[in-house]
Structure 1
Amino acid sequence: MTLRKWFHMFWTTLLIGMIVSTVIGLILQYSDQEFSLMGLSAVGFNVMNMLLGGATISVLSQMGFFAYLIVRFIAAGIIRSKTVWDLLQLTIVIVVLFDLAYLRMTSFEGSFLGYLVLPVIILIISLGVAYWKVSMTNRNAFIPTLFFMSAVSVLEAVPALKLDNSASSLFMLAPLLVCNAWQILILHKILENKKS
């Protein structure tokens, strides 16, 4: 990956994060009059905070993406069998999605089925992105994409998930999932080597 390609990926992901967080923030602000960022309700100030929040979330997404690529590279060197590595990733996906519901249920008041909604939505989005990635590349991309979109996204969203507030979760998860999807879907195009 050249520096130019990395800059392209960085700035497009940053822009996507800022746009998505601003749109979600404005929807939340106009649908819930009590929603405000940092306790301030002025629309212009909140739009600026939404842009900065989206930029921060997109940078967090990029850090998670590169951390995943490094972990994947190291794991491929340690675990020689692709089947074992894929099974390990699937196991982690199942554990993370179950724990997302179970640990939040035990920490906050509510039913298990109520807390199961978010993991199911994340799983559906992750499966959709994984199928899209397979259609763009090959079937070997399915499990890594599913793992990244579900397990890594949940790990990145822990600060918002600790609050047990649907507005906070939506404000962080929406740009995070979109940024993660963007990065994983364009990775093969960025790494493509053109034959002369």
Structure 2
Amino acid sequence: MTLRKWFHLFWTTLLLGIVLGLAAGLILSVGQFELAMPGLRAIGFNMLYMILVGATVSILSQMGYFAFLIVRYVGLGIIRNKKTWDLLQWALVVIAMFELVSLRYIQFGGSWFAYVPLAAVMLAVSLLVAYWKVKLTNANGFLPTLFYMYVVTILEAIPALRTNNASGIFFMLVPLLGCNAWQILILPRILQNQKEPAAADSK
């Protein structure tokens, strides 16, 4: 990964986060939903606020992605058996799915089924991105992508998930899921383009 490639990934992800933040904010403002993000006072829907939130979420997404790559690299170094590593990832996906529903139910109460749609939608998006990853690379990319899109996204979205505000969760998850999907899908292409000039020079 060269510095130029990293800058390309950074700025494209930042731009995507801003665009998706604006889109999510405009959808909520048109629907006249009240936004309540944790730690912020009610300052209304305005373009600058949407841009700042989208940019902040994109940076959070990039931090989470590089942390995922580091943890994956270290994990594969410690757990050398691929089947064991895969089982661990599947277990964490199932645990994250259960905790996303049960912990919010315990904290906020109400109907248990009211917390299922969010977990189901996130799982559907994660499966779609994982399927797309397989199309772009190979079958080995399915589980890591599913793990990243589901488990890591949940960890990144904890500030919004701690609130029982649907609009706040939507406002954060739209740019977060978009940025996470963009990074894990585009990185192989960036690395492939990096190797092509070297291969050409060796001929």
Q: Under TM normalisation by the shorter chain, which class is it?
A: over 0.9
Unaligned runs of at least 5 residues, structure 1: none
What per-residue deviation string (whole Å, max 9, x for no partner) do you get for residues 72-98 of structure 1? 000010000111111100100110011
Q: Equivalents in 2 of 1:100, 1:109: separation in Å?
A: 13
- SS of alignment partner, residue 87 of structure 1: helix
Q: Equivalents in 2 of 1:126, 1:40: separation in Å?
A: 32
Q: Equivalents in 2 of 1:187, 1:119: separation in Å?
A: 26
* Correspondence for 2:14: 14
* Correspondence for 2:90: 90
* Correspondence for 2:42: 39
Give the alignment of 1:1-196 within 5 angstroms: 1-32=1-32, 34-35=34-35, 38-41=41-44, 46-192=46-192, 193-194=195-196, 195-196=199-200
Unaligned runs of at least 5 residues, structure 2: none
Q: 1:167 to 1:74 in 2, by over 3 A?
A: same
Following superposition, the deviation at residue 34 of structure 1 comes to 3.7
TM-score by length of 2: 0.92
Q: Which residue identity lines up with residue 61 of structure 2 in the other structure?
A: S
What count of residue pairs does the alignment treat as equivalent? 193
Q: Which residue identity lines up with residue 157 of structure 1 in the other structure?
A: A
Q: 1:36 to 1:84 in 2, by over 3 A?
A: closer
Q: Equivalents in 2 of 1:179, 1:35: separation in Å?
A: 21
TM-score by length of 1: 0.95
Q: Equivalents in 1 of 2:79, 2:16: separation in Å?
A: 35
State the identity %: 52
Q: Which residue identity lines up with residue 175 of structure 1 in the other structure?
A: P
The 8 Å contact of residues 101 and 116 in structure 1, kept in 2 or not, is answered as yes
Aligned-pair Cα RMSD in Å: 1.2
Q: Which residue identity lines up with residue 86 of structure 2 in the other structure?
A: D
The 8 Å contact of residues 29 and 36 in structure 1, kept in 2 or not, is answered as no
Q: Which residue identity lines up with residue 107 of structure 2 in the other structure?
A: S
Runs of 4+ in 1 over 4 A off after TM superposition: none
Taking CA–CA contacts closer than 8 Å with sequence separation of 6 or more, which of the two structures ends up with the larger relative contact order? Answer: 2
What per-residue deviation string (whole Å, max 9, x for no partner) do you get for residues 124-147 of structure 1? 000000000000000000000000
